[in-house]
Structure 1
């Protein structure tokens, strides 16, 4: 469904993403992992058509997305890392706006907006301005907005940010149902426990380059490490957090 072919994006000659290739098929959840500055955000900007790659291709159903960008975006749902919403609108008004921008019928907008707010536990705040919402409530509105038009391809960028335990569990179950419904999901998260449970494939990115692309179970078996978190830490040469924590406490007493 979605394919990146040797995608490179340079800023002032420096690659933020360097020769990245992968395929995301329908009915699949692909985990896209990496430390801060690895190139994840740049990849998302390329996939959503916000920026064009310096080299390489982004294909959706075999066609370059830049050949039919408006039509492609109509099939895309996206939850950004930062909750950017029109805070003067209510949650209901925001979803109505999104539905109209997506050219949905008024009947479908009314049905889905109310229904999603209810399912995400926001029916009590449907008419309240978003400026009064907590971070987690704003995140639930963004999740609703991304799903309103029944997209084929969905990008979740750190979607658990601010969510309470119950909503986080709902989201994990939602990923499994979306997969069963044949959606293609790109899932970017630092919550590796959830990634390990729901993702069919995992890409680990560092310095703009793909270090690994395999099923979570394959990565743990190949590296002989017990969890995806340990695999990730080893591959990106992450700081020894225990030692760093002890050093920080020692520094407090210095």
Structure 2
């Protein structure tokens, strides 16, 4: 792992309101080269909003965001060439074949068609997708499409990755391969923002975990450091404690009791 000395990204007092509601409430964050950041929080905590701001997809925020030393509010989009992104709900062009889609995305990043096609073909082979190289994405399973999206985020060899629920729909073997890809990319100095609800996975691969609750960072540190500030053991248990959600057993019990109520038949 690279030493955490080269700052890749910083957020300074980032605040945002949407529809009269405060979505982000003064986010401060510094991220360094080679870190795998597990970016977690309940639904609606502001995780996707923060990522979209850093990607330049939302500009109605207050505060300062710097990526690769550049204030993204300057209007210069060149920093985006060094970013890869897998959104939680991606809209791929389903009428394109897998190779057509990958070449299209690569060309948006400035790669030549010939290089993009050759590199995409090799990457698809490693994900066991060679046989469907020329098949339309509309016929792909969720897991197959997710592999294509992951390849599309890496084709141009970015320095900063934003992956939002990247393992959605993948089988256990593919998940293991992609976990190892993340670890090896970080070891080569790539910086990874990783958002997932699979807590044991975040616990396993992240060297730093940032927990967002109601638009505020409530925890930021290694898994071991988070353990020290909590009475709980696993990341899932720490998550529940720090987000104030301790009612899961009681709620589950009520749900099951309703399911098992005596039936009334027509």
TM norm structure 1:
0.96
Q: Which residue of 2 aligns with 1:137?
A: 144
Asked if 1:2 corresponds to 2:12, the answer is no
Q: Cα offset for 1:241?
A: 2.1
| Structure 2 unmatched runs, 5+ | 1-7, 262-266
Q: Cα offset for 1:249?
A: 1.3
Within the candidate set 49, 61, 65, 2:56 is matched to 49
Q: Which residue of 2 aligns with 1:231?
A: 238
Q: Cα offset for 1:53?
A: 4.3
Runs of 4+ in 1 over 6 A off after TM superposition: none
Within the candidate set 185, 188, 195, 1:178 is matched to 185
Residues in 1 aligned to 2:55 and 2:49: alpha-carbon distance in whole angstroms: 10
Q: Which residue of 1 aligns with 2:209?
A: 202
Q: Which residue of 2 aligns with 1:84?
A: 91
Within the candidate set 213, 218, 221, 1:214 is matched to 221
Q: Cα offset for 1:185?
A: 0.6
Residues in 1 aligned to 2:35 and 2:75: alpha-carbon distance in whole angstroms: 24
TM norm structure 2:
0.92
Q: Which residue of 2 aligns with 1:118?
A: 125
Larger deviation, residues 163-172 vs 106-115:
106-115
C-alpha change, 1:61 and 1:212, in structure 2 (3 Å) is same
Q: Cα offset for 1:156?
A: 0.3
Q: Cα offset for 1:62?
A: 2.1
| Structure 1 unmatched runs, 5+ | none
Task: Give the greater-gyration-radius structure (CA).
Answer: 2
Asked if 1:61 corresponds to 2:68, the answer is yes
Residues in 1 aligned to 2:143 and 2:75: alpha-carbon distance in whole angstroms: 34
Q: Cα offset for 1:68?
A: 4.7
Q: Which residue of 2 aligns with 1:192?
A: 199
